Structure 1
Amino acid sequence: CVDGEYQNFKAKGGAYTRENFFGKYPELREMVAAMSDADIWRLNRGGHDPHKVFAAYAAASSHKGQPSIVLAKTVKGYGMGDAGEGHNISHQQKSMDIESLKAFRSRFDLPISDEDVEKLSFYKPAPDSPEIQYMMERRQALGGFLPARRRKGNELKVPELSAFATQLVSSGEREVSTTMAFVRILNTLVRDKEIGKYIVPIVPDEARTFGMEGMFRQLGIYSSVGQLYEPQDSDQVMFYKEQKDGQILEEGINEAGSFSSWIAAATSYSNTGIQTIPFYIFYSMFGFQRIGDLAWAAGDSRARGFLLGATAGRTTLNGEGLQHEDGHSHLMSATIPNCVSYDPCFAYELAVIIQNGLERMVQNQEDVYYYITVMNENYQHPDMPKGVEKGIIQGIYPFLTSVTKEPKVQLMGSGVILREVIEASKLLEKDFGVSADVFSVTSFTELRREAQTVERWNMLNPDKPQKQSIVQQVVADQDSPVIASTDYMKSFPEQIANFLPNKFVALGTDGYGRSDSREALRSFFEVDRYYIVIAALKALVDTKKIEVSTLTKAIKQYNIDGNKPNPVSH
Structure 2
Amino acid sequence: MTDHSTNHTYGGIQHEDVDPTETHEWLESIDSIVKVHGTERAHFLLEHMVDHVRRSGGYLPFSQNTAYLNTIPVGQQPNYPGERHLEKRIEAYLRWNAMAMVVHANRKNTEYGGHIASYASSAILYEVGFNHFWKAPQEGHPGDMIFVQGHSSPGVYARAYLEGRISETQLRNFRQEVTVFGNEEPGLSSYPHPWLMPDFWQFPTVSMGLGPMMGIYQARFQRYMENRGLTPKSDRKVWCFLGDGEMDEPESMGAITLPVREGLDNLVFVINCNLQRLDGPVRGNGKIIQELESSFRGAGWNVIKVIWGSRWDPLLAKDNQGLLRKRMEECVDGEYQNFKANDGEYARREFFGKYPELQAMVASMSAEEIQRLNRGGHDALKVYAAYAEAMQNNGRPTLILAKTVKGYGMGAAGQAQNTTHQQKKLSKDDLVAFRDRFNIPVSDAQIDDLPFVKPE
- TM-score w.r.t. the length of structure 1 is 0.32
Query: Of the two structures, which has the highest relative contact order with CA contacts closer than 8 Å and spacing of 6 or more?
Result: 2
- TM-score w.r.t. the length of structure 2 is 0.38
Q: Which one has a bigger Cα radius of gyration?
A: 1
